[in-house]
């Protein structure tokens, strides 16, 4: 047996934004009543074709997103004037069905109401009586066409279905009564099924997964990049999309729910995928995107498990597509300058000690930290990465951590919000990382590198150039996103260059796995309250060179 064909009600049950509308047609000759059922979009008040791809195309369009937002802002009691008749005619709806669907109220304060219908329906919105009068006169002139029209609705427009009811007629003339479940109309003069999401020629098509967990600095970098076009956003909560992007930027963007992510991965216009999802869900998205032939930028860790993270890089190598991980701190211009001075070995000589302070502001939510892996995998791993770069990519011999949860919510998660991580490297260098998940009124990001010939310090970046002591409020409050705005911009541009084949990914598999190994050891040390020894802590050539000087 073949698969059962889905009805209009099946689609309405599957998609909450769709509704089945009924239009009652009374025939004076036979006394019967026909009901025309139409699949409609609630927000846009537009008829839908009964095809899943067309439905998904409309529901993920920027127009549908804007209409839903307007309804939330204005409420259902404020209909927006629209030229609905032209929209209906564009998809082949007969003219005698188009007029009653257009509320012609000049303002929401109109007092003319539609007379009660014979079947007991009541209109929800004020509509001038002239709208009904013009409809009845037009219908009477087409009496000879109604018989053929009633049998051809299904072929003319697939979203229409006819039902014959044995309801006695109370009218002498043929009359169309619209169902009272009328929704707000919006988007006056807009075309239905416009070419939304078509990227400009020569621009890279991108898609984003998990906007709710992404950094605002990353989203700003994407909007500022002229060589890219955001075609899709995969996110279940539209409010998160609204907070992350400007409305005018989403004109060519389709918002898709997670269950329909295959639409994105199968679109050949998408060259790269930006994954902002937590590590628990990121690995599956990364592998699916790579297998679909897309380059991937994973803003957070692809996984907290080293084997799964390694499989992501192996899949990227097998597919021949770039995989860029979001170690944003190494792309900070100030750090890159400091890193160059350290690697040259002329300014500092042999590295003896590295101290870093990293306090995040504003504080991340408890729910987010739980999915991101806590303080070690959300914050400390980035400092572990930059320290590894400064010391030539070596692995520490010993890791020891202390931490405490000052916030009761963090304590309930059995995680810390303040930790100190100490590491000793084969070269003899000692590293201290002071990590705090929150601070009072501005982020605190400092780094000191002490060598045999001097010291370099990277202070907090203050746009005002003013510092104070003993003040209760920060003179210049700075968020984590604003502090590393330039770092995210350089990281995103690096991803774009990898998509174009201009350069390979800078973050290698070995660097990511080393950062995960050290971070896992730091977390284990904190939980066990004892030092953790790591095998294989061998200094690379750059460290040996500094020791020899």
Cis peptide upstream of residue 362 (ω within 30 degrees of 0): yes
- Joined together, the tokens standing for residue 483 give 């502090």
Three-state SS annotation for 191-203? CCCCCCCCCCCCC
Beta pairing class for 532-533 and 323-325? unpaired
CA distance 190 to 204: 27
CA distance 307 to 402: 27
What contacts 28, CB < 8 A, 6 or more positions away? 169, 171, 172, 173, 174
Which of left, alpha, beta for 91 (phi over 0: left; psi -120 to 50: alpha)? alpha
Give first-to-last CA distance, the chain, whole Å: 81
Strand residue runs (E) in 381-534 = 398-404, 418-424, 430-436, 444-451, 454-458, 532-533
Nearest to 356 by CA among 268, 472, 447: 447
CA distance 358 to 298: 22
Domains and CATH numbers, the chain: 8-178 (no CATH), 204-325 (3.40.50.720), 343-459+507-548 (3.30.360.10)
Question: What are the residue ranges in the chain where pLDDT is below 70?
Answer: 1-4, 27-28, 60, 62, 65, 69, 72-201, 439-440, 462-476, 536-549
Cβ–Cβ < 8 Å for 308, 283: yes
pLDDT per residue as tens digits for the range 510-534: 999 999 999 999 999 999 999 999 9
pLDDT for the residue numbered 368? 86
Cβ–Cβ < 8 Å for 220, 479: no
Nearest to 456 by CA among 310, 319, 322, 345: 345
3-state secondary structure of 260: helix
Beta pairing class for 295-298 and 323-325? parallel
CA distance 415 to 117: 64
Q: At what angle do helices 509-528 and 306-319 cross, to 10 degrees?
A: 170
CA distance 497 to 489: 12
pLDDT per residue as tens digits for the range 274-316: 999 999 999 999 999 999 999 999 999 999 999 999 999 999 9
């Amino acid at each position: 047996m073949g698969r059962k064909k889905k009805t209009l009600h099946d689609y309405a049950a599957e998609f909450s934004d769709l509704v089945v509308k009924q239009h009652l047609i009374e025939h004076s000759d036979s006394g019967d009543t026909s009901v025309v059922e139409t699949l409609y979009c609630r927000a846009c008040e537009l008829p839908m074709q009964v095809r899943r791809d067309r439905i998904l195309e409309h529901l993920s369009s920027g127009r549908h997103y804007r209409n839903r937002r307007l309804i939330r802002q204005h409420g259902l009691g404020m209909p927006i004037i629209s030229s609905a008749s032209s929209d209906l005619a564009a998809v082949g709806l007969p003219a005698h069905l188009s007029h009653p669907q257009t509320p012609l109220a000049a303002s929401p304060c109109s007092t003319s109401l539609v007379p009660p219908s014979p079947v007991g329906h009541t209109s929800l919105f004020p509509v001038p009586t002239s709208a009904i009068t013009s409809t009845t006169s037009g219908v009477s002139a087409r009496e000879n066409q109604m018989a053929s029209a009633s049998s051809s609705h299904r072929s003319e427009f697939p979203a229409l279905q006819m039902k014959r009811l044995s309801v006695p007629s109370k009218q002498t003339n043929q009359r169309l009564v619209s169902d009272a479940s009328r929704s707000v109309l919006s988007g006056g003069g807009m075309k239905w099924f416009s070419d939304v999401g078509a990227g400009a020629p020569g621009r890279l098509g991108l898609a984003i997964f998990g906007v709710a967990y992404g950094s605002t600095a990353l989203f700003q970098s994407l909007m500022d990049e002229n060589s890219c076009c955001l075609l899709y956003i995969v996110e279940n909560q539209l409010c998160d999309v609204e907070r992350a992007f400007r409305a005018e930027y989403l004109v060519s963007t389709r918002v898709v729910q997670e269950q329909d992510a295959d639409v994105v991965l199968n679109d050949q216009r998408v060259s790269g995928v930006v994954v902002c999802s937590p590590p628990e869900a990121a690995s599956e998205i990364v592998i699916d995107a790579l297998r679909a032939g897309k380059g991937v930028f994973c803003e957070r860790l692809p996984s907290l498990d080293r084997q799964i993270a390694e499989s992501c890089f192996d899949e990227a190598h097998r597919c021949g597509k770039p995989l860029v991980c979001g170690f944003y701190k190494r792309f900070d211009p100030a750090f890159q300058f400091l890193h160059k001075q350290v690697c040259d070995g002329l300014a500092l000589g042999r590295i003896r000690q590295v101290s870093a302070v990293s306090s995040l502001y504003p504080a991340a939510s408890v729910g987010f930290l739980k999915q991101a892996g806590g303080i070690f995998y959300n914050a400390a791993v980035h400092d572990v990465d930059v320290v590894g770069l400064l010391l030539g990519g070596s692995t520490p011999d010993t890791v020891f951590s202390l931490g405490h949860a000052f916030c009761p919510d963090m304590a309930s998660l059995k995680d810390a919000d303040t930790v100190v991580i100490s590491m000793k490297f084969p070269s003899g260098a000692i590293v201290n990382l002071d990590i705090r998940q929150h601070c009072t009124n501005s982020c605190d990001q400092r780094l000191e590198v002490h060598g045999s010939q001097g010291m370099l310090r990277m202070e907090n970046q203050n746009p005002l150039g003013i510092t104070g002591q003993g003040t209760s409020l920060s003179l210049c409050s700075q968020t984590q996103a604003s502090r590393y705005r330039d770092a995210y911009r350089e990281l995103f541009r690096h991803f774009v260059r990898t998509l174009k084949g201009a350069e390979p990914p800078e973050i290698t598999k070995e660097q990511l796995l080393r950062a995960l190994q050290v971070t896992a050891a730091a977390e284990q040390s904190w939980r066990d309250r004892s030092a953790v020894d790591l095998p294989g802590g061998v200094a690379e050539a750059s460290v040996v060179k500094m020791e020899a000087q």
